[in-house]
Amino acid sequence: PKGKSSAHNARIISKKHFFKLHVTGAKNEKVVAYRPANERYRKEAVSYAYHHMYKKHNPKYKITWNLYKENPSYCSKYVYLAYWRGTHHKAVKQRPGFWFISPHKMQTYFVKKPKDVASVRY
């Protein structure tokens, strides 16, 4: 999201640009993006995120505990819901209805061990 606004501001940017904007820390710190090993699940999640969340709803940005309500949303919740709804509950584990999806624990939410698909060192 752009700044701390609650506006409808989901957008598509490259991994490189995302890491440049959002990654801070010590030099040589490794940041990793995880995805299910099953390619079909990745495609289904991308399709759901793009067509249903981005194009249709573009939820407002706000960190909330109401996990299964799409709007408002935040970065890691957006990813979780794309896998949850896009794969019909096959790729990620169900969490309680009031739950915060931590970006640093994303790899623990997948049903099967995820694949490291992108990593950047700073």
What are the pLDDT digits (tens) for 85-110?
999 999 999 999 899 999 889 889 99
pLDDT at 13 (0 to 100)? 83
Q: How deeply is 38 buried, as exposed, middle or buried, from its count of CB atoms within 10 A (0-12, 13-18, 19+)?
A: middle
- Helix, strand or coil for residue 89? coil
At residue 111, does pLDDT exceed 90?
Answer: yes
pTM: 0.80
Q: Where are the domains of the chain?
A: 15-121
pLDDT digits (tens, 9 = 90+) for 66-83: 999 988 999 899 999 999
